[in-house]
Structure 1
C-alpha cells in the first residue's frame, strides 16, 4: 500500500501559560479540544495510509507540548525540579491510546511544590491524557534502580521535557554507574524477564489472539534488544548494533520491517478498540483486516488470515532474531576459550560451534545442514558463534530458493533425517535460522499462515514443528506410559525418516485453495524424487500426506465396532507397515493441532481402530465369518466374566433374552457384563441408572435401563448438559420386552476427563430423579455463548441418507453450549427416535451423526426429513442444507 503524506495541522498553539497560576477551566476546555483535534487528524492520516511510526512520533510531540505547557502553568521555571518522559513517551512514541508515563525529579520536598505537582497531574488527567507518574528525588531513583531492574530499565528511556538540566545530569550519572546492574547481571535479569513474560503467552508467538506489545516477538522484544544494546555495548539503536557487530545489515532491515508492521497493527488496533488494547482479539481481527486493505482471495485464504499472517511473520522474525541476538550478547560476555576440533569443518569454543573456514557456507552449501548435524553430536553445545550465525544467514539469504535444488544440500538433509528422533531438534533450529524454508520453498509459503478457527490454534509452520516434536516423543521410553502402542511401534519402523518427511509435508499446501492433502501429496512426490529416495519410499511419504486425516476421521465419525467400517479402512490402508506410520502421524497431528484436543477417549478410539485394523489385515480365515459368530463370542466372554462374580447362567439367559443382537455386536464383553450385573442387582426396579466412572476408551460410561418411551434420549441429553457432561458416543437400543438399553460415553465438559467418583454419583442420583418423573419435561439450560464462539458461528449444514433401514442425519455446525440437548429436544418434538449417535467436536466445529427413525421405527419420509431440517435450522440458526 502506498504511503500517503501526513496531513496534519501544525503542532498545537497553546493558551498562554501564566507560571504558577495553574490552568483555568477555559484553558482546560481549550486543551481538551486541542488534544481531540490532534487525535482525529492523526486517525484520518492513518486511514489515508500515513506511516504509523511517524504518526506516533507526531502524537508524542503534540502531547509533549501540552505537558510542558501544563507544567509551566503549575510550577513555572523552578530549580531543583524537572519532568521526564519515560516508557514509550520517553522513546518519543505515543499510539492513539497509550499511557503518558512521567517521572518528576525534585529536590527537597516542599509542600507548595508537591501541591503544584498534584495540580499538574490532575490537570493532565482532566484534559484527557491517561497519565502514569512518579515523584522522586535522585537518591530514591538510585535506591529503587539498584533494587529493581525494571526501574533501572525505565530510566534508560528517560527524556527530559522541562525543568532543571542539572537533574538530567544526575539521572545520567545513575544510568552510567557501572556498579548498578553490570552487563552480566543486567543480561541475566532481562532474559529471566523475557522467559517469564513469554511463559504467560504459552511461550509462542502463535497464539490465536496474540499480544502485540508483550507477547513473544512483540514490540517489547524490540525494546529489550535496544536496552541490552545500550547497557552491554553502548549501542543506542540498531545502526549502532550493526557497527558493533551484533547485527548484520540484513538482520537490521528485517527487524525494522517487522517493527513497522507491528506498529501499524498496534495503531490500527487502538483506533478500532477505542482504548489501549494490545491483544489482537477475535472481536477486532476481521474489522482490522478490512480497514488495512486485506481481502478474501478464496475460502481457504481469507483476508483476516492474510492480515494475521502479516502479524505472525513479523512477530516470528522478531522472536527468532531476539533469541539469536541474546545469544550474541552472552557470547560477548563469555571469557575466551581455546578451539576444540569438531570433525573436519567445525570447531567449538566452549558452548558454541564455529566454522573453521568462515567462507565454507558459500563455498560448500551442504555445510549449512552439516553444521546442525555436527551440533547434535556435541554435548553441551548451546548455539553457534555470532560470526558463524551471521555467515549462515548471509549464505542462506544469497542462496534462498536454490538450496532445494542443490544435490549436496539434499544429501546432507537426508542424512540428517536418517538420524531419526534427534533430527527433530535440528529441524526446529534450522527453522529458527530460516534454513527449512530455504531448502523447502513450499514450507516458506506456510510460514505464519493461520486458519481463522478455534480448531487450529497454531500457524501451519508452528503446528508442523510441534507435530515433529510429538513424533520424536515416541522414541523416548519415558513416554511409554502415555503412548504405549506408539512407543512400541517406533523402534519397529524400518525408516523413521519417512515419518519425519510425512510430518513436514502433511499441511504444506494449506492456504492454496483446493484439497491440501492432494496438493501436499504432489509436493511430497516431487521432493522425494529430488531427494533421491527409492520410489517405494517416496510413494509411502506421499500416501501418508494424502491420507493423514483418514484415521482420525474414521475413528471419530464412524462406528469402528462395525466390521464393515474397519474393513473399508483396512482396504484403504493396505498393509500393516502403512498402518503403523499412519497411526503415529495421526496421534502427533492431533496433539500438535491443539493441546485441548487430545484426551483418553481419542487415545482409546484410535488404539481400538489400530488394533482392529491389524486384525483385519491378517488372513481372512482368522476373521469371524458372520455376525452370529461375533455375537456368540461376545456372549461367551461376558458369561465367563460374570461367572467369576457368581452369577448363574440361567439368570444371564433371562436378561439376555431381551437384549437385541446389536448389544453384543456394538459393545465389548466387559460392557455387557457390567450392564447385565447392574440389571440383576436392580431386581426389576426401574429406572435403572448405572455409572462407571472409568470405563471404555478413557470415558465415564452411563447405562440407562428403563421402559422405553419417546423423548428418553432428549431427557438424558438435557440432564447431561445441565450437569456439564459432554457426550462422546451414544448407543440407543431397545429390548424385545420394551425396555431401553441406552449407553452414553461421557467426559467432563471443562476438563475433557472422565468423572470423579463423586461426580459419577451425582450424575447417577440426578438422572435417576429426572427419569423417575416421566411426565415432567426438562428444558435445556440457557447458557451464554463464550466470546470466542460468537466469532465462529457458521451456517449449519444438515444432510440425510439411508443406512441399514434407518435414516442417517449428518449435522455440521458451530459449537455452542447445550447444542446436543437442543438437537435432542427438536428431534423429540418432531416425532423422531434416536438409535445411535456419534459426537465429534473439532475446535469450534461440531460434526455429529445420528441414526434415526420415525416413531414406527421406519426411515424418515422426505416430508418428515424436510420438517426436521427446518425445525433444526430454526433452533440452530441461519438455514442451509447440504
Structure 2
C-alpha cells in the first residue's frame, strides 16, 4: 500500500487500515507459512501510522520508530505495536499536543499501542538502566521522519551496547522466565511465546547474536560456525511452526492470545488439519507436535547459547581435568574427548550422564557433547538398549547420592531417556485430561521422582520431616525411583495403566538384574500406587476393619513405607492445587494406624477410644477444666465420635461445650485449623433434617470451601459437627474471620429461614473444556447400618450445598462426609443414615435428583 501525498481525513486512515487487516486475518488461518503475512501486516501498520503522522502534522525533525517485535517487521495478528517517537534534543514543547493526538489516533485505529517519547540521549540512558528497553531498542526500525536523527540514534546506541553485559542480562532473564514455568516446556497449557522452548527463546538467541555482531539470522549463525546447517534447518522449521501456531491462535481467539489454553486447543488443532481418532483427540495430536518442537528448541538453544558464550568469553584455559579416556571437564562442563566418541563407543552415551552426577561442580554437558548426542539418536537402537553395560550404567545413574533429578531431566531433554525406555518415549508430550494433572505424563513422572529425591536430601528435610525421616531409613532408595519411573508409564494406551505398567516394570526389573524382593516391590507399587490415597480420602479410616484390610493388602512395613512415600510424591507431582496439609494428615494417619497393625497391634476400637479419652483428659487438665466436667457431654457421645476425632479435637470441643450440653441456642466456634491453612468450625445445635444443608449453604455463600466434615449425633438428639473449611484467596487470615463466621453462622442456624435455591455456580474454564460424566453411587455398607453415597463431578461453586439440599428434602441425615477435591474434580463420599433408604424406589429417586443437582 502507498500513502496519498496529502492526508487530512482520519476516518479514511482508519477505514483503510481496518479493511486491509480484515482481509489479512483469514489468510493467517489458512497459510502453510505465516512469515510473509506477518511482514505484510507490519507494512500495513507502517502505512497507517505514516498517514496518521501526516494527519497530526508532526515535523520532519522527529522520527517515528518501530521497536520490539514490530521493529523486526513481524506482527502476529493481534500483537502489541511498540513505537518510539524519537525527538531531537531541541524539540519545542508545543509538539506535545500533536504527539498526544497522534497516539490517540493510533489507538483509534485499533492498535494495541505501547509508546514512548524520548530523545536519543534519553533512550541511551533508559537502555543502560533496563535490559528490556535495551532489547526493544536493539530492533529499532525507522517508519517515517528524520533519517539523520534515526541514524544518529543507532550509532549512539550501538556504541553504548556492551555485548557481554547484554548476554549475561538476557541469560539471567531467561532463567527467571523459565523458573516461572517450572523449567519445563510440558505444561498442559503452555505459553507459546514465553514458555521454555517457545518463541522467546529463539528471539533471545538472535538478540544476543545480533548484539555481539555474530549475525541476524539462522543462516548467518550457520555461516559463522555457531550452528550446523542441519541445526539451522531444525531451528527454522520449528520457528515457523511456532509462529504459525501463535498466529492461528490469535485469529481463533480474536485477540492477542499466547497461552494455548484447553478451550482453544481443539480449534487450533483442526486449523492444522488434525481430526479426532478413536485413540487420540485432535488437540492431543497438535500438542504432541508442539511439545516435540519445544523440546527441539530447548536442546538447540542450549547448544547455541553455550557456543555464543564461548565466543564472547574466550578462556585461555582449556581442559580442566581428564575424567576418562572418553570425557574431559572443560570450563565446568562435561565434554567428549572426540566428536565420534558415541559412534565408537555407544555406552559412552549413558556414561556422560553418570559422570555429570559424579563430578562435583559441573554445570552440565557442553555444547559439543549435546550436539553429539543430538546426532547420535540413530545409535540408540534395540541392540544398544540390550547391552549389559548400558543396563548397569542406567542403574548406577539411579543409585548416585546427588544429581539424579538433573540427570534424568537432561536425559529426557536430549531424548536419551525415551530412547533407552521405549515406553517412556511413548508418553513424552502425552497429555492428561483428568482435571487435576497440570503436566504431561513424562513431566509428571519426573516431578514425582524429584519429590522422592527431595525426601532423601538433608537440605529439604524441613519441607516434609516425616517423609524425610522414613526415606533416611529406607534401604536401597533407588528402588523407589524405579517405581516412580514406571507408575504412570502405561497411560494413554487404553485399559488400566496400573495393570499395564506392571508388565513394563516387571520386564525392566528382570532385564536389569534386580533382586527378586526389590523387583516384586517395584511391580507391587506400580499396581497399587493409587490405593493408599483412595483409602485415605474415600474410606472411613476410623473403622478398624478398613485399617485391617489395608494392612492385609500391604503385608509388611517396607511396602507400607514405600507406598506412603510414593503416594505423597505422586499427589504433590500432579498440581500445586491438589496437595494440601489436610490430605497430608489423612495419609500420615493411615500410615501410622496401619503400621501399628503390622507391628502386631490388634485393631481394637475399645483400646483406641480409651487412649484418646485419656489423652483428651490430660489436655483438659492443662486448660484447668474441672475434673469431671467432661462427663455431661461424653455420656451423650457414641463410639463413632471418639473414633472419628483425635484427642486434641475431643479436648477442644469438650472445653467449648461442657457448659452447654442442653442449650437451645446454637453454639458455633471457629479457630485456625491446627493442620494447614484452613478454619476449623464446630457446630452444636439440636439436630434437624436440613441442618447439614443449612451449614453448607452458609459456607457456599461466603466462599468457604469444605475440605472435611465430621458429623455426629448425640444420644439426646444434638448435632455435633466439625468442619474444616478454606478460602481460595491466598491472603486470608483465618484468625481474623473466625469471630465473623461464629456470629453469622449462629444467626443463620437460629432463624427459620427456608433453604435458599442452590446457586448454579459457573464451571471453571478447564471443567467446561473437559467435562466429566457426573456419577452417583448409593449402596448399603457391609453392616447395613448406613448407606454410602459416592459422588463424582466437575467442581463448581455451590456443588456441596446442592447435594446437601437434596438429602435434606428427603430428610436423610448425614453421618459423616469425606470431601475430596482433585483440582477441578470432586470425589465426595457421604455416610448416610440408613433409615428409609432400603426402599428401592426412594434410592432411584434420590440418585436421579442428585444427578440432576450436580449436572450443569
Could you state the TM-score of these two structures normalised by the residue count of structure 2?
0.90
Aligned to 1:410: 391
Cα 1:759/1:127, change in 2 over 3 Å: closer
Out of 638, 658, 674, the residue aligned to residue 636 of structure 2 is: 658
Cα 1:420/1:577, change in 2 over 3 Å: farther
Q: C-alpha offsets along residues 107-135 of structure 1, whole Å, 9 cap, x if unaligned?
A: 56479998887777666655555555556
| SS in structure 2 of the partner of residue 595 of structure 1 | coil
Cα 1:366/1:685, change in 2 over 3 Å: same
**Corresponding position: 1:241 with 2:221:** yes
C-alpha distance in 1 between matches for 2:752 and 2:60: 86
Aligned to 2:563: 582
C-alpha distance in 2 between matches for 1:119 and 1:718: 54
Aligned to 2:515: 534
| SS in structure 2 of the partner of residue 92 of structure 1 | coil
C-alpha distance in 2 between matches for 1:277 and 1:401: 43
C-alpha distance in 1 between matches for 2:53 and 2:678: 67
Out of 815, 819, 830, the residue aligned to residue 810 of structure 2 is: 830
Aligned to 1:479: 460
Q: Is the contact between residue 84 and residue 118 of structure 2 (CA under 8 Å) also seen in structure 1?
A: yes
**Corresponding position: 1:54 with 2:54:** no
Q: C-alpha offsets along residues 549-582 of structure 1, whole Å, 9 cap, x if unaligned?
A: 1111111111112122122222222222111111
Q: Is the contact between residue 270 and residue 276 of structure 1 (CA under 8 Å) also seen in structure 2?
A: yes
C-alpha distance in 1 between matches for 2:54 and 2:68: 22
Aligned residues: 850
Out of 235, 238, 242, the residue aligned to residue 258 of structure 1 is: 238
Aligned to 1:7: none
Aligned to 2:282: 303
Aligned to 2:319: 339
**Corresponding position: 1:550 with 2:531:** yes
Q: C-alpha offsets along residues 740-774 of structure 1, whole Å, 9 cap, x if unaligned?
A: 23233x03132689974443333333333333335
| SS in structure 2 of the partner of residue 241 of structure 1 | helix
Aligned to 1:508: 489
C-alpha distance in 2 between matches for 1:830 and 1:867: 10
**Corresponding position: 1:562 with 2:547:** no
Which range moves more in the overlay, 552-561 or 322-331? 322-331
1:373-522 correspondence runs (5 A): 373-396=354-377, 398-399=379-380, 403-420=384-401, 422-452=403-433, 454-522=435-503
Aligned to 1:369: 350
C-alpha distance in 2 between matches for 1:775 and 1:83: 67
Which range moves more in the overlay, 605-614 or 360-369? 360-369
Aligned to 1:762: 740
Q: Is the contact between residue 186 and residue 291 of structure 2 (CA under 8 Å) also seen in structure 1?
A: yes
Q: Is the contact between residue 567 and residue 616 of structure 1 (CA under 8 Å) also seen in structure 2?
A: yes
State the Cα distance separating 1:466 from its structure 2 match: 1.7
| SS in structure 1 of the partner of residue 239 of structure 2 | helix
| SS in structure 1 of the partner of residue 456 of structure 2 | coil
Q: Is the contact between residue 421 and residue 475 of structure 1 (CA under 8 Å) also seen in structure 2?
A: no
C-alpha distance in 1 between matches for 2:404 and 2:126: 47
Aligned to 2:686: 707
Cα 1:756/1:596, change in 2 over 3 Å: same
C-alpha distance in 2 between matches for 1:560 and 1:644: 29
State the Cα distance separating 1:544 from its structure 2 match: 1.4
State the Cα distance separating 1:788 from its structure 2 match: 4.7
Which range moves more in the overlay, 715-724 or 160-169? 160-169
C-alpha distance in 1 between matches for 2:62 and 2:720: 84
**Corresponding position: 1:322 with 2:301:** yes
Which range moves more in the overlay, 411-420 or 136-145? 136-145
Out of 714, 723, 726, the residue aligned to residue 705 of structure 2 is: 726
Aligned to 1:8: none
**Corresponding position: 1:595 with 2:576:** yes
Which range moves more in the overlay, 869-878 or 594-603? 869-878
C-alpha distance in 1 between matches for 2:487 and 2:830: 31
Which range moves more in the overlay, 393-402 or 372-381? 393-402
Aligned to 1:872: 850
Q: C-alpha offsets along residues 832-869 of structure 1, whole Å, 9 cap, x if unaligned?
A: 22112111010110011112236xx2434222122222
Aligned to 2:156: 174
Aligned to 1:353: 334
Q: Is the contact between residue 853 and residue 860 of structure 1 (CA under 8 Å) also seen in structure 2?
A: no
State the Cα distance separating 1:414 from its structure 2 match: 1.0
C-alpha distance in 2 between matches for 1:294 and 1:427: 32
C-alpha distance in 1 between matches for 2:460 and 2:749: 44
Cα 1:726/1:118, change in 2 over 3 Å: closer
| SS in structure 2 of the partner of residue 801 of structure 1 | strand
Q: C-alpha offsets along residues 356-383 of structure 1, whole Å, 9 cap, x if unaligned?
A: 3443222112222222222333332223
Out of 658, 671, 679, the residue aligned to residue 657 of structure 2 is: 679
**Corresponding position: 1:743 with 2:722:** yes
C-alpha distance in 2 between matches for 1:659 and 1:693: 25
1:208-223 correspondence runs (5 A): 208-223=188-203
Which range moves more in the overlay, 469-478 or 43-52? 43-52
Q: Is the contact between residue 774 and residue 793 of structure 2 (CA under 8 Å) also seen in structure 1?
A: yes
**Corresponding position: 1:839 with 2:819:** yes
Cα 1:703/1:247, change in 2 over 3 Å: same
Which range moves more in the overlay, 318-327 or 839-848? 318-327
Aligned to 2:248: 268
Cα 1:422/1:589, change in 2 over 3 Å: same
Aligned to 1:158: 140
Q: Is the contact between residue 783 and residue 818 of structure 1 (CA under 8 Å) also seen in structure 2?
A: yes
C-alpha distance in 1 between matches for 2:283 and 2:668: 49
C-alpha distance in 1 between matches for 2:195 and 2:738: 40
Q: Is the contact between residue 229 and residue 236 of structure 1 (CA under 8 Å) also seen in structure 2?
A: yes
C-alpha distance in 2 between matches for 1:730 and 1:470: 30
Q: Is the contact between residue 331 and residue 386 of structure 1 (CA under 8 Å) also seen in structure 2?
A: no
Out of 22, 26, 38, the residue aligned to residue 7 of structure 2 is: 22
State the Cα distance separating 1:593 from its structure 2 match: 1.0
C-alpha distance in 2 between matches for 1:74 and 1:776: 65
Which range moves more in the overlay, 194-203 or 653-662? 194-203
C-alpha distance in 1 between matches for 2:558 and 2:567: 14
C-alpha distance in 1 between matches for 2:108 and 2:630: 83
Cα 1:39/1:442, change in 2 over 3 Å: farther
Q: Is the contact between residue 402 and residue 439 of structure 1 (CA under 8 Å) also seen in structure 2?
A: no
Q: C-alpha offsets along residues 287-307 of structure 1, whole Å, 9 cap, x if unaligned?
A: 333333333334x74333333
C-alpha distance in 1 between matches for 2:443 and 2:714: 51
- Extract unaligned runs of 5+ from structure 2: none
Q: CA RMSD in A?
A: 3.4
Q: Is the contact between residue 602 and residue 697 of structure 1 (CA under 8 Å) also seen in structure 2?
A: no
Which range moves more in the overlay, 599-608 or 469-478? 469-478
Which range moves more in the overlay, 118-127 or 371-380? 118-127
Which range moves more in the overlay, 863-872 or 165-174? 165-174
Aligned to 1:195: 175
Aligned to 1:796: 774
1:854-865 correspondence runs (5 A): 857-865=835-843
C-alpha distance in 2 between matches for 1:101 and 1:701: 51
Q: Is the contact between residue 599 and residue 753 of structure 1 (CA under 8 Å) also seen in structure 2?
A: no
C-alpha distance in 2 between matches for 1:211 and 1:593: 19
Q: Is the contact between residue 725 and residue 748 of structure 1 (CA under 8 Å) also seen in structure 2?
A: yes
Cα 1:690/1:356, change in 2 over 3 Å: same
State the Cα distance separating 1:262 from its structure 2 match: 1.5
State the Cα distance separating 1:644 from its structure 2 match: 6.5
C-alpha distance in 1 between matches for 2:749 and 2:105: 67
C-alpha distance in 2 between matches for 1:400 and 1:170: 58
C-alpha distance in 2 between matches for 1:552 and 1:677: 33
